[in-house]
Amino acid sequence: MIPPTNPVATPTGSLALQGDDPMLAADDAAEPDDDAPAGMGSGDQAAIPKPKTGSTSQLSFGRPKLEMGSKGNQVKDLQRLLKAHGFDPGPSDGKYGAKTRAAVIAYQKAHHLVVDGWVGRQTWGSIDGGGKPGASSPGGSPGAAPGVAPGAAPAPAPEGLPGAAAPGPGGGAVDIPLSDEQIAKALRIPLKNVQENWPYLKAALAQQGITDRNSALAILAISARESGMRPILEYASGQAYEGRKDLGNTQPGDGPRFKGRGFIQLTGRANYRYYGKKIGVDIENNPELALRPDVAAKIAAVYWNDRGIPRLAQAGDWVAVNKKVAGDNTGLSIMQRNLAALQALL
């Protein structure tokens, strides 16, 4: 999560990202970048690492990081899902042993993930995959597309609320001469996600006067990492945000009500209020609207400007860009791999 500031004066914690809470940041700092897609950047591994034992670090989207020696119901879920995908982990006994690890490795090889035997963001995301056995995992973030919280679904217009407006004029002004197919392949996300949501992101960027190539590359790389380029609802209950005054959560139930939504996970009442006013949509009283692709795209584009990301992107300072979004270096290597894959096509 981005370090919070005064919730009254400015957006706080601003966009709390999937996988970017303090607990996960510490976990990522202590362990290798598990599950990164093979063949890209520093996350590519030449050999399967020696198994570690026993860790079940909690990822912010509700799934723990699993490895040899892990035990419990989440391991049982993993074993059942592996079987559903056609990979035999042995009995669903809740024990992460050699046979389960062998099934994970086979799954990772088949779905073009780093083959390390650990189950973290992207392996969880691919296996959960919206309940579709055999769904390949894209290379940015967890989910059927990476970054998608297990159980999170692309958001239709909430019941009783208007559907997404068509992308406004000016979306084509963004300087990215790549087809939807090229973008989807480079980021390893479903083509449908790009076709449905990239027009909204382009239009929102253009409406904010952000048309340079590097800024657009940054939003592609990060939205793919965080949500598979689809607006999602944070998998976790949001109870962890309850009472967080730094996020403006001052009323009972604010934590779950204002948990993460969108392409890059807007979190906290203060942020819903701030960004709702900025884009002219009352998402404080209708938080589900932050799941609409047109609304989520506008939030992301306003955030880009608020944080000065275009200036940093134009300078090629990708570390600083990532810190503006994540608050630290969490997910940096994934963003860099996504950028490299896109830049190779330009």
Distances (CA, A) of 117 to 68, 77, 96, 107, 191: 8, 16, 10, 9, 28
User: Does some domain include residue 239?
Assistant: yes
Q: How many residues does the chain have?
A: 346
Residue that is last in its domain, among 84, 101, 131: 131
Q: Containing H/E element for 128?
A: helix 121-128
Q: Please give the pLDDT value at position 190.
A: 95
The CATH number linked to 119 is 1.10.101.10
Same domain assignment for residues 81 and 116 = yes
Number of domains in the chain: 2
Residues 244 and 342 grouped into a single domain: yes
CATH code where residue 252 lies? 1.10.530.10
What pLDDT sits at residue 255? 96
Within-domain flag for 137: no
Identify whether residues 9 and 91 lie together within a single domain.
Answer: no
**In terms of domains, do 304 and 160 share one?**
yes
What are the tokens at 245? Answer: 């005054």
The whole domain housing 125 covers: 33-59+62-131
* Residue 145 located in a structural domain: no
Residues 310 and 270 in one domain: yes
Cα distance between residue 39 and residue 329, in whole Å:
21
Instruction: Answer whether 34's CB lies under 8 Å from 1's CB.
Output: no
Domain assignment of residue 208, yes or no: yes
Residue 309 is assigned to a structural domain of this protein = yes
* 75 shares its domain with 96: yes
**Amino acid, single-letter form, for residue 249:** N
Residue where a domain stops, chosen among 83, 99, 131 = 131
Do residues 73 and 198 both lie within one domain?
Answer: no
Same domain assignment for residues 10 and 53: no
143 lies in a domain?
Answer: no
Q: Are residues 310 and 332 in the same domain?
A: yes
- Whether 203 and 336 map to the same domain: the answer is yes
Mind listing the pLDDT tens digit of every residue in the chain (346 residues)?
A: 433 433 333 344 434 433 333 223 333 333 333 333 332 222 333 344 444 455 455 553 457 888 888 999 889 889 988 887 778 899 999 999 989 988 888 888 777 777 788 888 778 877 875 433 333 323 333 222 223 333 333 344 333 344 555 554 444 478 889 999 999 999 999 999 999 999 999 999 999 999 999 999 999 999 999 889 999 998 889 999 999 999 999 999 999 999 999 998 899 999 999 999 999 999 999 999 999 999 999 999 999 999 999 999 999 999 999 999 888 888 999 999 999 999 999 9
74, 63 in Cβ contact below 8 A?
yes
Whether 185 and 309 share a structural domain: yes
Does 28 map to a domain? no
Residue 118 shares a structural domain with residue 263 = no
d(CA 306, CA 75): 41
| 217 within 8 A of 313, measured Cβ to Cβ | yes
Q: Does residue 147 fall inside a structural domain?
A: no
- Model pTM? 0.56
